[in-house]
Amino acid sequence: MWSLPLNISKRVQNLEYAIRDVVGHARKLEKKGRDVIYLNIGDPLLFDFETPEHVKAALIQAVKDDFNEYSPSEGLPELRDAICEKEKKVGDINVLPENVIVSNGVSEGIQMVLAALVDAGSEILVPGPAYPPYISYTEFFGGKAVLYRTIEEDGWQPDLEDVRAKISDSTRALVVINPNNPCGALYDKKVVKALTDMAGEYAIPVISDEIYNQLAYDELLSTAKVANDVPVIGLNGFSKVYLMTGWRLGYVFFAGQDEQLLEELRDNITKEARIRLSANTPVQKAAISALRGPQTHISSMVKKLRERRDFSYKRLNEIDGISCTEPKGAFYFFPKVEGIGSRWENDMAFVSDLLEHTGIVFVHGSGFGTIYGSGHFRGVFLPPLDVLEKSFDRLDSYMTKKGQ
């Protein structure tokens, strides 16, 4: 009988995804009959949001019409056209269809972009705190994720001096996540312009994650709009705004004036797309309907989220030991906790103890980068107000008891 252990690669052993890694203990509590409230995952469909009916109908019709074969690796031509139309309408940027690659969710897009840019010893500048895949995939490909500071007291705006100080000869890209996950920050126009100018000065491309770009509570700015001739690799998708989280569809687009540089990068990412064959064909057909069909659900979604944001922001800052910067986009809050390092050993111990005593599932802040995320936790304000109120009542009671 086989008895030797398998040789599992270190790059896989070291992979982490804090947002889902916290769920195991919560499931055990549920099995014991505990009332558990999941505020860890940014999925609107887990709450009272629904995929638009015309999008669901388009998927069903696509299957019935036998659009069930492999599609082109870069994506259906009609969808790529629709994406370009959307980028022009929403971001006021001009993207050519040949500069769009459809992916199985934004996560695959991140993976493909970083695979094309990162070698052993490469560095990727990522905002701190950061969406975990930017850190994990960079390290998976042998590189190093260098987190640049964002300033909590200034609404989590990037620290431009820190960005400049961390650019090196090994830097391969500068990541901008706007609106931001996990902080909910919305970067000022002058800050985005300064970041792209700095990237141009050092001849590095910008990776702009814009998955929440229509879920902003103030004026939104597309990174490519102010980038001039700086190459911008945009990442977007259908999960959040179009409420298609489980459908797994996103896209990568390339914008900027240096066509030769972009063409080389695009062609190499296309090779990766070919290796994995194609994105889901029926879902792509539905995505065309999502982009070209009625958009009325977006304004109602933002209105509902704004009300929940305002309620959450107010309640969190009324709790002793909790302080929270107001989210300006997306649907996350990222509060700071007093007593980390004294009452609780670290933020992981905080969210674990909170879960045990209250049944609330948050994500530890250090899961978004230990340097700038520690001492915080991330939650979502997606649930209805009554669920949020119950959650904050439990959190308030817990903090009061721990403060005694």
Q: Which fold has domain 10-50+297-403?
A: Aspartate Aminotransferase, domain 1 (3.90.1150)
For the segment 17-28, the average pLDDT, to the nearest whole number, is 69
The per-residue pLDDT for range 272-308, each reduced to its tens digit, is 999 999 999 999 999 999 999 999 999 999 999 999 9
| pLDDT-derived band at 262, boundaries 50, 70, 90 | confident
What span, in angstroms and rounded, lies between the C-alpha atoms of 150 and 87? 27
Which amino acid does the sequence have at 254?
A: F
The per-residue pLDDT for range 243-255, each reduced to its tens digit, is 999 999 999 999 9
Quote the pLDDT of residue 107.
95
Least confident of 4-8, 36-40, 137-141: 4-8
pTM above 0.85, yes or no: yes
pLDDT at 18 over 70: no
Q: Which two tokens stand for residue 265?
A: 């990068």
User: Which option is the CATH number for 53-292: 3.50.50.60, 3.20.20.30, 3.40.640.10, 1.10.10.10?
Assistant: 3.40.640.10
Domain ranges of the chain: 10-50+297-403, 53-292
Given a contact cutoff of 8 angstroms between Cβ atoms, the answer to whether 233 and 95 are in contact is: no
Q: Is 211 exposed, middle or buried (0-12, 13-18, 19+ CB in 10 A)?
A: buried
Q: How many CB atoms lie within 10 A of CB 371?
A: 13
Q: Is 105 exposed, middle or buried (0-12, 13-18, 19+ CB in 10 A)?
A: buried
Q: What is the mean pLDDT of the chain?
A: 92
Instruction: Give Cα separations from 148 to 127, 139, 213 (angstroms).
Output: 5, 16, 22
The per-residue pLDDT for range 31-87, each reduced to its tens digit, is 888 888 999 999 999 999 999 999 999 999 999 999 999 999 999 999 999 999 999
The per-residue pLDDT for range 300-354, each reduced to its tens digit, is 999 999 999 999 999 999 999 999 999 999 999 999 999 888 888 999 999 999 9
The per-residue pLDDT for range 198-228, each reduced to its tens digit, is 999 999 999 999 999 999 998 888 999 999 8
